[in-house]
A and B are shown apart, each in its own frame.
Chain A
Amino acid sequence: MTKQLDLLDIQGNVIRAYGRFGYPVARYVFLNIRNAARARTFVGKLTKKVTTATQWGDGIGQVKKPVWTVNVAFTYQGLKELEVPRESLMNFAPEFAAGMKARRDILGDDGPSAPELWDPIWQENRETRDKDVHIFVSLNASAPGWPANGRDLIETSYEQLELAWQWLKDIVAQHGGGVVILGGNVGDNGALLDYQDCKVVMEQGKPTAKEHFGYTDGIGDPVFEGVPYDTDRVNGRGKQLENQQWAPLATGEFLLGHIDEAKEYPPAPNPVLLSRNGTYMIYRKLHENVATFDAYLDEHGSKYPGGKELLAAKFVGRWRDNGAPLVKAPDAASKAVFDKQLAVADKEGQDELLCNFTYDADMSGAKCPFSAHIRRINPRASLQMISEPGDPPGSLKNSVGAFDTPGALTNRRRVLRRGLPYGDVKDRTRDDGNHGIIIMMLNSDINRQFEFVQQQWINYGNDFKAGNDKEILLGNHSVDDRFPSKAVLQVEPTGNDTPYILSKIPRLVETRGGDYFFVPSLTALRMIAKGLIDPT
């Protein structure tokens, strides 16, 4: 890796999934601008505290790891209210200007995911000027002293989060009504809060990377060129090459102002200093219907030949307990072997076991089904597939050399995923508690990356030769009896098993709000705060 990113100019949440770096809790705050000049001063004040992507260390001249972090982003209207010049605004991506709500049909946010049912803050957003979401501030907190202090991790880190929150409220107050914090985030028992809280799911007093259905999240997050602390995580996370090797993805897939996989700078607004080292963020609040999920899994788990846990793994492509990928551990026996290897592996070895795999030996989907979550989100090189006359019925194979590079159809559809679960599941027999995940996705082209994956790979199946069949977990499964959702769990074409069909898949995950944001670089933040942007 020769490329060196200017980490002090890039916001920390772009490069780091804070949950993985010891920040188990987060609070997301949304503000409305009432006075442009005072709002800019506010942004200036905030900017001084913004956490960058720099490497942390305790040595002289090094930046210490902060106890809590601050990051900031803006919607299109937010940038407009901050008086970013019109010429710059017009060059932002059209879908960013339109916002998530206007893209509901593209995203499949229908039925129980329709904007009319979103949290009040998101329902009211982009309706009247004083309720518009303009500024996003995220606060992530760690737990200094834990576990030595013998206390609860969440409790300890919440103390820090409260300090951060107080700090934010103070500077909001100092700016004399220039910005106001918007309420309307739904919390426990329907309470409307001034923020969206998130925290990791705990198991036996220890933090996990799990969400409320019990799956480990974020294992396969993409790795791209120029991030010094990701160099040993490329296998399985970068792009798959013809020779079975892996390489980091081009920086420009995730950061504006850098060369992307098409060997060009991704389209971005002028001036360059406004966009360079910045990116687009998709914020989505996803409610998880835990009771429906459990009931559906129980119903089919009792009939599915491999049993309930294997079925749960088939939904996602990984086993629930430790994230073992199905392509490496397709059944109980191979899973036992995998578990033993995982138990004795060091950190790097574990990472290899969990992430370094391809679908080359599973082109027919007998191990990891075509509608499983991880195969749909990141098909790796498996879309270079074909069947030819004379092949065993029900089989597909790698059409070697057909594409310019094996991952041609995947490499420009990758998305960085950040975020944490929210709420607690207090009663697993009910769907209506306050529980789900906040997912923040980062990419340099919302339409080409996030929206494409959402629409073509999650809510549709043609690229997987599956017609309209959707991704099992996140698909906007139909509530219309005329269009019931299903998924086929494939088997070895030359074996004796029968494919299992998941029928009438219910809506397991519902959208509860969100919007598109621009995450500026530190340079751009300073320019925005000073009102000094010259696009000419």
Chain B
Amino acid sequence: MFNIAGKSYAMNVITPVRWYLAWLNKVIFYAALKIPSTLSGLITLSLIHYARWVIIGRNQFPHMAPEQPREQLKYSYMLFFSNFNGSWDQYVDSFTFSIPGGLDMFWKWNVRYSKSVALTPFHRYIQYNQLETQHYYNAYPLAASNDVKSAKTVKAALIAFDQELRKGTDAEFLARYNTLLRGLQHDMGDMYPTPIVSMAAYQLERRHQRHERQLQELKAAASEGGV
């Protein structure tokens, strides 16, 4: 199993909701979507690539063949999937510190939810209900969510800048170039492999190093044979 891919961690949490209250949770999510201020904490935290909440009614688990036994559940379930930057505790901690109210709003109808403050019971609640990821794929393991967003800014700025490359004197060019730099002063962070945020990340990094060596060997073998 592996919950980590580069700078991202895959969290899955499944928690029961009383079936007759599941609609209430859906209303809350709908409201969150319609009232932008509810998500401003999440946006400011800026640690998430993508996250989703899925509510599965107790009769809504996919039934794909007559021979598949029917589910007979007493509860409906809420599944939470997140792709975030940092280690498990860094993420959980950052969330409880900064948006405890938001977390409580989304989970408070779930059976035996602990509330996000105090921290230790909340940690236990998440750990208790977490599902480990077996295989996690990340298209940009070197990039945090911040990097993906700032890259978009950089790309747009460079394309715009290219329009005027040949206009004016060299001095005018340099002034425009300096303005470009100023506009991108928060978008120039390097993207290197992630720091080791947990011992699991250490294991993953060692696997990557092994693969890196294998790739180099393959390349070397190919060039020897090819030339």
Contacts and interface: CB of A to CB of B under 8 A. Distances in A.
Are A and B direct contacts in the complex by CB distance below 8 Å? Answer: yes
Interface of A: 105-106, 108, 261-264, 267, 364-365, 370, 384-387, 392-394, 396, 399, 401-404, 408-409, 411-412, 447-448, 452, 455-456, 459-462, 465-469, 478, 483, 486, 488, 490-491, 493, 495, 497-499, 501
A105 to B, nearest CB: 4
Contact of B40 (A394, A401, A483, A486): A401
Contacts, number: 145
Nearest to B86: A456
B189 A461 contact: yes
A261 B93 CA distance: 11
A274 B202 CA distance: 33
Interface string B90-106: 10011011111100000
B215 to A, nearest CB: 15
Nearest to B119: A262
Given A447-B89, A456-B90, A465 B98 contact: no
Contact of B43 (A267, A386, A460): A386
A455 B197 contact: yes
B185 A462 contact: no
Contact of A402 (B41, B188, B197, B202): B41
Contacts of B195: 108, 455-456, 459-460, 468
Nearest to A466: B189
Contacts of B166: none
A403 to B, nearest CB: 4
B182 A404 contact: no
A493 B120 CA distance: 42
Contacts of B93: 412, 448
Nearest to B118: A264
Interface size class of B (residues with CB under 8 A): 35 or more
Given A403-B41, A497-B182, A469 B90 contact: no
A448 B89 contact: yes
Contacts of B85: 462
B4 to A, nearest CB: 14
B117 A263 contact: yes
Interface in B138-194: 144, 146-147, 150, 153, 157, 178, 181-192, 194
Nearest to A371: B189
Given A386-B43, A411-B97, A498 B181 contact: yes
B196 interface: yes
B194 to A, nearest CB: 8
B101 A404 contact: yes
Contacts of A467: 144, 146-147, 188-192
A308 B100 CA distance: 45
Interface string B200-214: 001001000000000
B98 A404 contact: yes
A468 B197 contact: no
Given A404-B97, A490-B185, 11 more contacts: A106-B197, A261-B97, A263-B117, A263-B118, A264-B119, A384-B44, A409-B97, A452-B90, A455-B197, A465-B186, A467-B146
A385 B186 CA distance: 12
Contact of A385 (B44, B182, B199): B44
Contacts of B189: 461-462, 465-469, 488
In the complex, the 6 A-B pairs of residues with the closest C-beta atoms, listed nearest first: A467-B189, A393-B183, A264-B118, A402-B44, A262-B119, A408-B98
B135 to A, nearest CB: 24
Contacts of A106: 196-199, 202
Nearest to A467: B189
A393 B97 contact: no
